Amino acid sequence: MNPTGESNRSDPGPQSANASADVVPQRRAQQDPAWVRWFLTLAAVFVLTIFVVVPVIAVFYEAFSRGARVYFENLLDPDTRHAVLLTLTVAPCAVLFNLVFGVAAAWAIARFRFRGRTLLITMIDIPFSISPVVVGLMFVLLFGLGGFFGPWLRSHGIQILFSTPGLILATTFVTLPFVARELIPVMEAIGPDEELAALSLGANGRQIFWRITLPNIRWGLLYGVILCNARAMGEFGAVYVVSGHISGQTNTMPLHIEQLFQGFNSPGAFAVASVLTMLAVVTLLLKVFVERKARQTVLEAAKE
Amino acid sequence: MVNRRVLPGYRLSITFTLAYLSVLVLIPLAACLVTAGSLSWSQFVAAVWTPRARAAYSLTFGAAFAAATISTILGLLIAWVLVRYDFPLKRFFDSLVDLPFALPTAVAGLVFSTLYVPNGWFGQFLVPLGIEGAYSRLGIVIVLVFIGFPFVVRTVQPVLESLDKESEEASACLGASRWQTFRRILLPALYPALITGFALSFARALGEYGSVIFVSGNMPFRTEIAPVLIVAKLEEFNYVEATAMAVVLLSFSFVMLIVINLLERWSKLDR
């Protein structure tokens, strides 16, 4: 019997609950009854299984439903190969641009105080909240034939829409916040002390960045790049609008999946989907690893 | 905190940041508003308020709201179990929560549409019961839950971890049942995180396109969401009407952006 149980006797509250509280040691105030734990754990595992585990298994099951030979034939199809190549061109470009942007924005926001700083942080979030289709539409309005820069671009023979530059632009827009959003809190947590020390010892800006800042933020940076890359490779809506879906020319992997699916080539669609799923799984593994490293750097900085 | 003259690179970094944002974000946004501005008010209303468009908005909002509500409940459940209980493969399930962030939405749409068709893995049990999870409104909600629940888990989890034991112990000492403690002590502390998670998944669901076109069937008036209608207008080269509808979606995006920002500030204050 524990004393808290005794003092409750006068309470007109739920008697049955008090009865069980008597048996539970005081230190376990946070502990739920066993049946609640079992029920909730099973429910959570069930939800994750239905929503995540089964779909991932289904992707590979469907991809191999006609046998391994058909699977590899589907992957080696020229249009599919082109889609893979295009995705591997567009995504790294978008990531690179947003990497440079993220570092610049994080340096400005985490190391200086200026008017409109909060507004700037909010502006970086804008791409997260706009529907990808609207993003694509905006680029069509700018670079399409009837668009603002359309006539000028055409007279100079520059193609942006329905070609790789348009895909890169749209993807860069959609993935713009990822690196900056990761870096700002990391740089704020680490603080400017080491950089200030370097400055007082006579280092110039470049030396400070390459020798102090970059080594400090490298894991946070990598984390942002991984997230950015995953989204860039999977981007659909914005790219769908600007690409014109020309098979073998402007189809990225997600667009190619849609085209195969519309053409009732389900095994083909799932074969491409299986590649993207593997990429997603690799992304997750990298993420777990890098996340741990990133947390360590911030904790170490906090200790010092 | 730091005097802007002390560390180098203020001018360079702020100039680059602003230039980049202007070219990539502000100019396209302006193009959208200018194009919509070429319409008179009555033309604008005629473009954005057709019966088909109204059906698309209400489906977009209804499905996003339903999905965000379900995501909030499932997200709280998963976050609670991951923070409070120990079970085999816990680490594995924890990292699975991030899969919807990493998996391209087209893949999600593709696989969900095949799981819930009448001869699919889930469909063979659900369709005889009258539950049509593919090419229906329910299908849209299911795939939006898949995309939305990680937002809730990842906003609730850190708050749940940082709650202090004392208030729970005090509540137990004062004779509250576990359920009373949860409802009166824990849930109020989680409200800011839950509402933020709800808002994040709602905002994401409002604009979602890639996964929905696979599962919905895209039938006008029945399963056509607003972004699909915009694309349909674009494919008819009806740029002005498409832009007008885009401006409607944009204004809701901005409202959500502001709401989320305020919510995040509120939850920070609360901690």
Q: What is the CATH number of the domain that holds A80?
A: 1.10.3720.10
Residue A85 within a domain: yes
pLDDT reported for residue A23? 47
Do A55 and A186 lie in one domain? The reply is no
Within 8 A by CB and 6+ apart from B245, the residues are B47, B48, B53, B226, B229, B230, B233
Range list of H helices, chain B: 10-21, 27-37, 41-48, 51-84, 90-96, 99-102, 105-115, 123-126, 137-162, 165-173, 178-181, 187-207, 212-216, 226-235, 239-270
Residues A74 and A113 in one domain: yes
* Amino acid in the structure at residue A142: L
Tell whether A12 is covered by a domain. Answer: no
Chain A hits for B122, CB-CB cut-off 8 Å, are: 50, 54
According to the model, what pLDDT value does residue A28 have? Answer: 60
pLDDT at A260 over 90: yes
Contact B104 A253 (CB under 8 A): yes
Same domain flag for A37 and A96: no
Q: What is the pLDDT of residues B55-81, one digit of tens each?
A: 999 999 999 999 999 999 999 999 999
Domains of chain B: 1-38 (no CATH), 40-270 (1.10.3720.10)
Q: Are residues A121 and A44 in the same domain?
A: no
- For the cut 50, the answer to whether the pLDDT of residue B87 exceeds it is yes
Please state whether the predicted TM-score (pTM) of the whole model is above 0.90.
Answer: no
Tens of pLDDT, residue by residue over A85-144, are 999 999 999 999 999 999 999 999 999 988 899 899 989 989 988 999 999 999 999 998
Q: Give tens-digit pLDDT for B3-49.
A: 556 888 889 999 999 999 999 999 999 999 998 888 899 989 988 99
Say if A6 falls within a structural domain: no
Contacts of A41 in chain B (CB under 8 A): 81, 85, 87
Residues 248-267 on B with a CB inside 8 Å of A are: 249-250, 253-254, 256-257, 260-261
Q: What is the mean pLDDT of chain A?
A: 86
User: Which residue of A32, A49, A131 is the best one to mutate when testing the B interface, meaning the one whose CB has the most B CBs within 10 A?
Assistant: A131
Q: How far is CA A223 from CA A129, A205, A278, B247, in A?
A: 21, 24, 18, 33
Per-residue pLDDT of A180-211, as tens digits, reads 999 999 999 888 889 999 999 989 889 999 99
Contacts of A174 (CB under 8 A, 6+ apart): A127, A132, A135, A231, A232, A235, A238
Per residue in B189-245, pLDDT tens?
Answer: 899 899 999 999 999 999 899 999 999 888 889 899 999 999 999 888 888 889 999
Which residue's structure tokens are 């305020």?
A: B262
Q: What is the pLDDT of residue A7?
A: 38
Tell me: pLDDT of A291 over 90. no
pLDDT tens for B93-144 read 999 999 999 999 999 999 999 999 988 999 999 989 988 888 899 999 999 9
Amino acid at A32: D
Q: Determine the length of chain A.
A: 304
Q: Is residue A139 situated within a structural domain?
A: yes
The letter for the amino acid at B111 is V
Cβ-defined contact of B239 to A237 (cutoff 8 Å): no
Q: Do residues A54 and A99 share a domain?
A: no
- List CB contacts of B241: < 8 A, sequence separation 6 or more: B47, B48, B233
Res. B52: pLDDT tops 70: yes
Q: How confident is the model at residue A57 (pLDDT cuts 50, 70, 90)?
A: very high
CB contact under 8 A, A230 and B101: yes
**Rounded Cα–Cα distance for residues A76 and A84 (Å):** 10
**Which pLDDT belongs to residue B209?**
93
Task: Tell me, yes or no, whether A191 and A279 share the same domain.
Answer: yes
Predicted confidence at residue B263, as pLDDT, reads 86
A contacts of B256 (beta carbons < 8 Å)? 129
Would A22 be classed as within a structural domain? Answer: no
Report yes or no on A15 lying in a domain: no
B residues 126-185 lying closer than 8 A (beta carbon) to A: 145-146, 149, 165, 168-169, 171-180
A43 and A103 part of one domain: no
Same domain for A40 and A87: no
Q: A75 pLDDT exceeds 70? A: yes
Within this chain, do residues A274 and A145 fall inside the same structural domain, yes or no?
A: yes
Task: Look at residue A216 and tell me if it is in a domain.
Answer: yes
ipTM of the complex: 0.89
Average pLDDT over chain B, rounded to whole? Answer: 90
- B-chain residue closest to A133, CA distance: B227
Domain boundary at A42, A63, A84, which?
A63
Q: Which residues of A35-71 are buried (b: 16+ CB within 10 A; e: fewer)?
A: eebeebbeebbebbeebbebbbebbbebbeebeeeeb
Mutation target for A interface from B107, B119, B178, B185: give the one with most A CBs within 10 A.
B107
A38 and A185 part of one domain = no
Please name the amino acid found at residue B112.
Answer: F
Q: A10-24, A39-53, A65-79, B68-82: lowest mean pLDDT where?
A: A10-24
- For B75, residues 6+ apart whose C-beta sits below 8 A from its C-beta are B149, B150, B151, B152, B153, B156, B197, B201
Domain extent for A59: 33-63
3-class state of residue A244 by DSSP: coil
Instruction: Look at residue A127 and tell me if it is in a domain.
Output: yes
Which of B28, B115, B210 has the CB atom closest to A254's CB atom?
B210
CB–CB contact B207 A45 (8 Å): no
- Give the torsion through C-alpha atoms of A239, A82, A99, A243, to 10 deg: -20
Please check whether residues A199 and A230 belong to one and the same domain. Answer: yes
Report how far residue B62's alpha carbon sits from residue A19's, in angstroms, rounded to the nearest whole number. Answer: 44
Q: Both A51 and A166 in a single domain?
A: no
Q: What's the pLDDT score for residue B218?
A: 85
> Which residues of chain A does B18 touch, with a Cβ-Cβ cutoff of 8 Å?
120
What is the total count of domains within chain A? 2
pLDDT at A8: 38
Tell me the nearest-neighbour CA distance from A132 into chain B, angstroms: 7
